[in-house]
Amino acid sequence: MNWDTRLERIYHPYNVWEDYKCGFYDNMSGEQKKETIKMDVSMFCDSDKTREYMNIAKDKWVYSFEHNLTNSSMNRIAYIGQAAACLFCGAPSTVTMEAWSEVPDRCKGVANAIAKEVLSKWIKDNNKLQLKLALN
């Protein structure tokens, strides 16, 4: 897969972003944060759960994925993982960033590979959509 694929940049206002509505940009502290970090780590160490929630994010977060994954300057692999964690246990992105340091390296490798698969599928599907829209 060509990771340098440039899709036409798509912008959506934040009030339609599914990630925003799910608490992706919220703050969290105390015991709730500690428990959420544990849940984040458990998800990333379970490849089936990781794949399931990354695909749920891809399928359900249409506006958020368009807005964020058409931005070639952002870490799209990290975004997909953070989206999955938000859907799995309500983890804000900053909590998932912190939890990532506790994920064992072997689990990180598997989770990153799954995110690359999800991104490849998303790019393939959206390249077709953009081509179709350009031809009409």
For residue 4, tell me if it sits in a domain: no
Instruction: Report whether 95 contacts 39 (CB < 8 A).
Output: no
Tens digits of residue pLDDT in 71-117: 989 999 999 999 999 999 999 999 999 999 999 999 999 999 999 99
pLDDT for 2 beyond 60: no
Task: Please indicate, yes or no, if residue 65 is contained in any of the structural domains.
Answer: yes
Distances (CA, A) of 49 to 2, 5, 29, 31, 34: 26, 28, 25, 23, 20
Position 21 in a domain: yes
Confidence of residue 128 (pLDDT cuts 50, 70, 90): low
The pLDDT assigned to 10 comes to: 87
Domains in the chain: how many in total? 1
93 inside domain = yes
Domain containing 28 equals 14-135
Is residue 45's pLDDT more than 50? yes
Whether the pLDDT of residue 123 is over 70: the answer is: yes
Place of tokens 């900053």: 94
Q: By the 8 A CB rule, do 40 and 83 touch?
A: no
Report pLDDT for 5.
58
Is residue 55 in a domain?
yes
